[in-house]
Amino acid sequence: MRSRQIESGLVCAPMLEGASWEAVIGLEVHAQLLTRSKLFCACDVTFGAPPNTHVCPTCLGLPGALPTLNAEAVRMAVKAALALGGEVQEKSRFARKNYFYPDLPKGYQISQYDEPFCKGGAVTITLPPAHEGGEPCTKVARLTRIHMEEDAGKNLHDFGGGSVVDLNRAGTPLIEIVGEPDLRSAKEATEYLRALRDELVFLGINDGNLEEGSLRCDVNVSIRRAGDSTLGTRVELKNINSFRFVEKAIASEIERQKDVLETGGRVVAETRGWDEKTGTTYSLRSKETAQDYRYFPEPDLPLLVLEDAFVDRVHAEVGESPRDKRARFVQELGLTAQAASVLTQHPRIAAFFEEAATLFGDTIKVANFIQSEVLRDVTTQGLKAKFAISATQLAKILDLVRSGEISGKQAKELYAKVKWTDGDPRATMSELGMSQVIDPKAIEQVCAKVIADHPKQAADLKAGKKQLFGFFVGQIMKATKGSANPELVNAMLERLLGTTK
């Protein structure tokens, strides 16, 4: 199969408190593909343009205008499918999903229905140990399918005193990733969403922005008696735009359903929203009578045929998954799981770390310095990231520490001086007269003077008052404005005072 290997793993199903109920959760995730133009026309997809400035007869749904499929969108969709281990279908079909809404001028959305371009796949998640000292648990949550579809427009209210329908977004390419109801807790669901977002962002096909809606998720929640094999009635939670809210909304919805069932009621199939103020979900609309979209094959588009050669080419573009990258950072580069996770929070941060690590060699020193200094200045926007220094400058700073020319503390000061400039760290170090005193003669002179200036403390230290060692180190650092090499200072003091630290 042309896909990344789906690793099988332990399936852990945490039961609800009291173990009498089990939550069942399945996510439908819509991801905007980062193409330049729309799915069926050449209009620009730039976010934030004045309303209705990126529209044409096709995305306005004018009579007689015909759709033309965007090849770049197909390439990105296939890339996602392969990375998620799905089976890309040689033949798939677009279909019309008919409904009426002001933001849908054609009266239908072009989507895929019973012949999606991808079936199956999975998202692997790792959950923290269930109890202290336990093993983290890996779970493989299966995907039902992935299909391509166009986005609808947007109704803007309170716009210039009225409401407008903005069709800039109409026709934006999306993939919908439909998950099986394999998730069993709010935590599992958020981890799933996080893993999925990471995957898409590292593929470079989505910017992972829940707040701006370029990644959207509908959460289906039901509960059942632990041990039951049939599914309970599900409620769909819509329009939740942050990881924190997703987790809170699911947890609250599980509790609500438990209360309903325990007081003899029944869960109604409906769509609910999340109210952050009250911390509860509220009913948006009933789903008891399923809406009939009267799907039918899109007559204006031919069957989509994805040839093996094309799929193979796209497959070659699928790089290392963020999950594999994290594992490699730990196993091969010696990082802690925590550091690996911090350094893979964004693809550009991971790339920066890898570049600097290759240049400098000592991966742990690079990882530490990036975490303590560089990340404080990094700004990310979508798939872009801005760094205050280059990987080359970083490696040069660390080189100066390795050669003993500056101390670790001075490296941080040097970073602060070099950042946002294209300055050479060594030149900046010299300009600032920063270089560390590594000449043993010079250090011996300072040590001898400090000892001579503090005869009482020296005597006490020699008599066994070891805590005074730190006092002498402090005095020497003060006398040298922090530039003395600490190892040399320690060694010299030990020698001159005839004592150990």
Cβ at position 84, least distance to Mg ion in Å: 19
Chain residues in the site for ligand ADP (CB under 6 A): 24-28, 178-181, 220-222, 231-232, 234, 236
* Least distance between ligand ADP and beta carbon 179 (Å): 5
Nearer of residues 58 and 190 to Zn ion, judged by Cβ: 58
Residue 392 buriedness (CB in 10 A; 0-12 / 13-18 / 19+): middle
Applying CB under 5 A, the span of 47-55, 187-195, 213-221, 316-324 interacting with Mg ion comes to: 213-221
Q: How far is CA 175 from the centre of its chain?
A: 18
- Can you read off the two tokens belonging to residue 433? 């007269």
Find the part of the chain contacting Mg ion (CB under 5 A) among 216-224, 243-251, 412-420, 489-497.
216-224
For ligand ADP, the closer CB: 266 or 466: 266
Looking at the Cβ atoms of 283 and 336, the one nearer to ligand ADP is 283
Stretch that binds Zn ion, among 34-42, 152-160, 228-236, 398-406 (CB under 5 A): 34-42
CB of 211 to ligand ADP, least distance (A): 22
Instruction: Tell me the closest approach of the beta carbon of residue 144 to ligand ADP, in angstroms.
Output: 6
Cβ distance to Mg ion smaller for residue 147 or 325? 147
Q: How far is the CB of 292 from ligand ADP (least distance, A)?
A: 11
Choice between 87 and 236, CB closer to ligand ADP? 236
Residue 317: in which H helix or E strand, if any? Answer: helix 308-317
> From the list ligand ADP, Mg ion, Zn ion, none, which binds 41 (C-beta under 5 to 8 Å, kind-based)?
Zn ion
**Could you give the CA distance from residue 267 to residue 286 in angstroms, rounded to a whole number?**
11
Residue 27 interface partner, choices Mg ion, Zn ion, ligand ADP, none, CB cut-off 5-8 Å depending on type: ligand ADP
Q: Which residue has 């409906």 as its token pair?
A: 270
Q: Rounded to the nearest whole angstrom, what is the least distance from the CB of residue 236 to Mg ion in the complex? A: 5
Question: In the bound complex, what is the minimum distance in angstroms from residue 41's beta carbon to Zn ion?
Answer: 3
Q: Does residue 13 bind Zn ion (CB under 5 A)?
A: no
Contact call for residues 139 and 124 (beta carbons, < 8 A): yes
CA distance linking residue 345 with residue 332, whole number of Å? 19
Residues binding Mg ion: number (CB under 5 A): 2
CB of 402 to ligand ADP, least distance (A): 52
Q: Which of 75/238 has CB closer to ligand ADP?
A: 238
Q: What backbone phi and psi angles, to 5 degrees, belong to 227?
A: 100, -20
Minimum distance of ligand ADP from residue 180's CB (angstroms): 5
- Cα–Cα distance, 330 to 346 (Å, whole number): 17
Q: Which is nearer to Zn ion, 19 or 42 (CB)?
A: 42
| Nearest one of 42, 77, 79, 71 to 57, comparing CA atoms | 42
Does the protein bind Zn ion through residue 56 (CB under 5 A)? yes
Report, in Å, the least distance between residue 232 CB and ligand ADP: 6
d(CA 8, CA 124): 9
Q: What are the Cα distances from residue 236, in Å, to 152, 218, 233, 243, 297? A: 20, 7, 10, 16, 27
When the beta carbons of 25 and 118 are compared against ligand ADP, the nearer one is 25
- Of 23, 43, 306, 411, the residue at the interface with Zn ion (CB under 5 A) is 43
324-332's contacts with Cβ under 8 Å and 24+ in sequence apart are: 325/202, 325/350
Given the complex with Zn ion, which of 105 and 204 has the nearer CB atom? 105
Q: Quick one: which of 59, 122, 335, 343 contacts Zn ion (CB under 5 A)?
A: 59
E runs forming strands in 91-191: 91-92, 95-98, 108-111, 118-119, 122-127, 137-150, 154-159, 162-166, 173-179
CA dist 358 and 420 (Å) reads: 22
Distance CA 184, CA 25 (A): 6
Distant-in-sequence contacts of 348-356, Cβ < 8 A, 24+ apart: 348/380, 348/383, 348/384, 348/385, 348/387, 349/375, 349/378, 349/380, 349/385, 350/202, 350/322, 350/325, 352/385, 352/387, 352/391, 355/391, 356/391, 356/394, 356/395
From candidates 6, 25, 31, 41, binder to Zn ion by CB under 5 A:
41
Closest-CB residue for ligand ADP?
A: 26
**Residues in the site for Zn ion, rule: CB under 5 A?**
41, 43, 56, 58-59
**Residues in the site for Mg ion, rule: CB under 5 A?**
28, 218
